[in-house]
Amino acid sequence: MVTSTQCLASMARLSLTHVSRPKPASVPRFLVPAVAHAPVQTRGSKNIAKIREARNREKKKKKLPKDFKAWDPTKYPQFSLCDAMRYLRAYEVGRPPTSIKYELAVRLKTPRNGPVIKGRVRFPHSVKTTDVRVAVICPENSEIAQQALQAGAVLAGQESVFEAVRNDNITFNRLLCHTSSEAALNKAGLGRILGPKGLMPNRRMRTITDSVVSAIRDHAGADEYRERSGALRVPIGQLGFTPKMLGANVKTFMASIKQDIAKLDGANKEVREVVLSTSHGPGFNLNGLFDSTDEKVTPADLSNVM
């Protein structure tokens, strides 16, 4: 016979088996540790990761060619100077001739790690519309400083120029140095300030000179150029230039480049392509000729005001 105590115990066991246990409260995903919901890496995913790593290594190992990429200009249409000017003037109709510039791009066949061409050229017909302000580093209150100021320099001296540079009071965009002040310039340690601005004098650019007056005259009307990524780009004229004026500037610039190439021993550089463009117009590959292919168009027709 079952006692009352045994009946109560069996009923208690039955009630406990059917009681639903409380569910844990849902926790936002961003509060769960990353390990809890990290995807399990299977064998296939590991193989895919290895393939991606191998591809990335191949991309890193791929080296650039030794020479800059250069196209054969004879495979594309080429234009004479007058033809190129005729089309470019049509693109710039309605714009002020003095604010639009002709630009010349000269692409070179040159190695990537080779020497870089940079220099200065004085065009027969000036292209600049901004003033050139020259400062000269020379002995303070000397005869050289007086000659520089008379030639048009905005500042001449040694400590006065150094103090202006240190105080960021640079009112000039060209800086020359007399040979007698070269040691003082090196001792001043202003390369970190003048270098990024392109104002640090050096002998290669002929900004350290014995003749300050002639250097001021050359820099006042000269344009600088520098090779970047195997190409030289420089403003070559204003839109109002006649074909003869523009042709004279192009001829002078190409002669300066060829002289710079000749000075580099074993540089393996040569001119491959010459392209004429304007501020808003496309580029036209020049073939070295001057006259227009259309007999009805003469240089005089391109010399009139647009």
Residues, the chain:
306
Interval 195-215 mean pLDDT: 87
Six-digit token string for 28: 């936002």
53-62, 98-107, 291-300: lowest mean pLDDT where?
Answer: 53-62
Interval 121-142 mean pLDDT: 83
Q: Is 235 helix (H, G, I), strand (E, B) or coil?
A: strand
Residue-wise pLDDT for 259-276, tens only, equals: 988 888 767 888 999 999
Q: Taking Cα atoms as reference points, which of 245, 192, 198 lies closest to residue 225? A: 198
pLDDT at 85: 94
CATH classification (class only), 64-128+222-306: alpha beta
pLDDT at 141: 86
pLDDT at 139: 92
Q: Are 122 and 132 in contact (CB under 8 A)?
A: no
Instruction: Indicate whether 15 pLDDT > 80.
Output: no
Instruction: Indicate whether 121 pLDDT > 90.
Output: no
CA dist., res. 275 & res. 254, Å (int): 12
Domain ranges of the chain: 64-128+222-306, 130-220
Q: What angle do CA 195, 198, 202 make, to 5 degrees?
A: 75
pTM over 0.75: no
Q: How far is CA 15 from the centre of its chain?
A: 84
Residue-wise pLDDT for 62-71, tens only, equals: 677 777 777 7
Burial environment of residue 64 by CB neighbours within 10 A (0 to 12, 13 to 18, 19 or more): exposed
Instruction: Indicate whether 2 pLDDT > 80.
Output: no
CATH classification (class only), 130-220: alpha beta
Averaged pLDDT of the chain: 82
CA dist., res. 303 & res. 238, Å (int): 12
